[in-house]
Amino acid sequence: MTATTDGSTGATMPPRAAAASDTASTVPVAAGVQEAAARATRRATDFLLSRQDAEGWWKGDLETNVTMDAEDLMLRQFLGILDAETARAAALFVRGEQRADGTWASFHGGPGDLSATIEAYVALRLAGDAPDAPHMARAAAWVRDRGGIAAARVFTRIWLALFGWWRWEDLPELPPELIWFPSWMPLNIYDFGCWARQTIVPLTIVSAKRPVRPAPFGLDELHTDPATPHPARPFAPVASWDGAFQRLDKALHAFRKIAPRRVRRAAMNAAARWIIERQENDGCWGGIQPPAVYSVIALYLLGYDLQHPVMRAGLESLDRFAVWREDGARMIEACQSPVWDTCLAVIALADAGVPADHPQLVKAADWMLGEQVVRPGDWSVKRPGLPPGGWAFEFHNDNYPDIDDTAEVVLALRRVRHHDPERVEKAIGRGVRWNLGMQSRNGAWGAFDVDNTSPFPNRLPFCDFGEVIDPPSADVTAHVVEMLAVEGLTHDPRTRRGIDWLLAEQEADGGWFGRWGVNYVYGTGSVVPALVAAGLPGSHPAIRRAVTWLESVQNDDGGWGEDLRSYRHVEEWAGRGHSTASQTAWALMALLAAGERESRAVEGGIAWLAATQRADGSWDEPYFTGTGFPWDFSINYHLYRQVFPLTALGRYLHGEPAFVRHPADGARLTGARAN
């Protein structure tokens, strides 16, 4: 088998990786597969049921990378509240993530990342690690070889500027007057995706204030040339968009010197009101860590002391992102995913044969019903007349429900026979109506907003880290189409537009690009079941092309995997990587929907899942198969390795899922099978 090489690291990986989990054993593909699948399903069902919280939800750890931990320490250092125990526990985790070459990666098995390595190095210095310690010296040498601090991303240099390790004047300007731009004006805050919007608004205050706290140590060892730590950056050609925005940034630096103080102060106060209005009841902002960190800093700079109720609640919310491990290490989650995990767990258990009226499924449904967002949020700026009714991803996030969670929650509720069917029907009706109202002009759906497709935000010099807009994607659109089909809306013109968009977005090789999962395997695993649910036969040319592509990228061990480098090296990495439980399940879900149950590809995938399952019914999966920003910010959802394999095994054993209806004359079951 010919190997491919990722030029950024020199690492080689076979196009069809044969390495499976250490727990794997050889299972004949054609012999005993159904029996092995049944055993694996029983074990996985028991395992997942045992992990439900008493309140009815599921939540796996959401692992990202050490920048979350480093920035948490830097925040506490900036506020003067960093304690020795927190520093020790965080350093234990950060040290444990360092690679042999001294670097830190942004995902398991990925190349060393310059900004992550710089931030991790600073965190360890704050925790007391000496710069001449071997692990620190290796990291510093690697950073210097890659251009030093000057080559790091803007967000990393902002953190360093807070302590005087970088000059504010050498950072892009972000004026707080941005808060006043009307929604029709280019580069208004609603041109940014909700995650970027929540981060940029507080950072306009930080940028305007340019605070510097005394640094506890220097970082000369991270500069290529300490004598000239701030090398000039060349301008792009004037005729290019990058050149235009670079010159706009230069003009904003000049404006800073003449901006009327009263106007700037009013803009910062308006931004502060915007921030406070969007603080959730539990103190967080949007249920995610980065906006909370920057919001706390911004309000602190405006004079909010740490005992102010807003600040106290914000800091307490940040503590809830900490996961304490058995070895005493402390990992920071960028976000928490209980709604997403719970609806996926319900789908998996129901498809695996757990009865629709099982008490744990009913309890999960009760919890999900209580999480429906019934007040307007930022999405209503573009859809002011649309009644609310979506679901968010997190425990508390009423401002930003998302289209993907809403579709999957509806699909989960349809699998449960609930004791209050009228309540379920009303909740589903609100969710369906909201999702339909969030359709973009092109017929597809983004994750949080409508038509969030402006080309300008990603061009800003400030935005050099990940996606800052929220355009429609194949995976989200597929989940909505599947939900609408289940709700009997297959022939609704809005559903048909979504189907047409999906068909037009298919890649030439037969796959679909996955925005929120890795990557073409995820996109294809989402789209094929949706198209089949919407009535496309397995013989449809688009379905056949997808099947052919999935079969072509199946690994020699029977599983499927895809490395995150597919987002940058499409031809080399698309559908290529070490087999994982979640990605194998996605491929199987597509193939089963396409009618390939008896194929050797499906049997091989089912056999791989059965063979790699642990004795307790779980699967091991160190590889990151989720994305926040493709390539730049990757996620390991620790529950993915449980819910998706169980879903695939259940559909292999029982066929397509069954759904519960609650017509006026009483509840009944419809679908390919009854529970």
Q: Which residues are catalytic?
A: 404
SS3 content of the chain, % helix, strand, coil (to 5): 50, 5, 45
Neighbour count for residue 620 (Cβ, 10 Å): 14
The H or E element that residue 626 is part of is strand 626-629
DSSP string for 465-505:
SS--SB---HHHHHHHHHHHHHTT-TTSHHHHHHHHHHHHH
Q: Measure the N-to-C terminal CA separation of the chain; round to a whole number of Å.
A: 45
Residue 627 CA to residue 625 CA, distance in Å, equals: 7
Closest CA to 267 of 173, 174, 199, 176: 176
Tell me which residue of 558, 637, 624 sits closest to 591, measured CA to CA. Answer: 558
How buried is residue 328: exposed, middle or buried, by Cβ count under 10 Å (0-12/13-18/19+)?
exposed
Question: CB under 8 Å to 485, separation ≥6 — which residues?
Answer: 495, 530, 533, 534, 535
For the record, the structure tokens of 233 come out as: 């950056």
Phi and psi at residue 321, in whole multiples of 5°? -85, -5
Question: What's the Rg (C-alpha) of the chain?
Answer: 25
Sequence-ordered list of residues with C-beta below 8 angstroms from that of 282, at least 6 positions apart, any chain: 313, 317, 320, 395, 396
Residue the block writes with tokens 């061009």: 459
Tell me if 576 sits within 8 A of 17, measured CB to CB. yes
Structure tokens at 15: 């196009």
Distant-in-sequence, close-in-space partners of 304: CB < 8 Å, separation ≥ 6? 310, 311
Question: Of 526, 283, 298, which is closest to residue 394 (Cα–Cα)?
Answer: 283
**CA distances, 336 to each of 81, 155, 626 (Å):** 24, 22, 13
What is the distance between the alpha carbons of residues 234 and 638, in angstroms, rounded to a whole number? 43
CA atoms within 13 A on the CB side of 119: 30
Amino acid at 524: T
What is the longest distance spanned by two Cα atoms in the chain?
Answer: 81
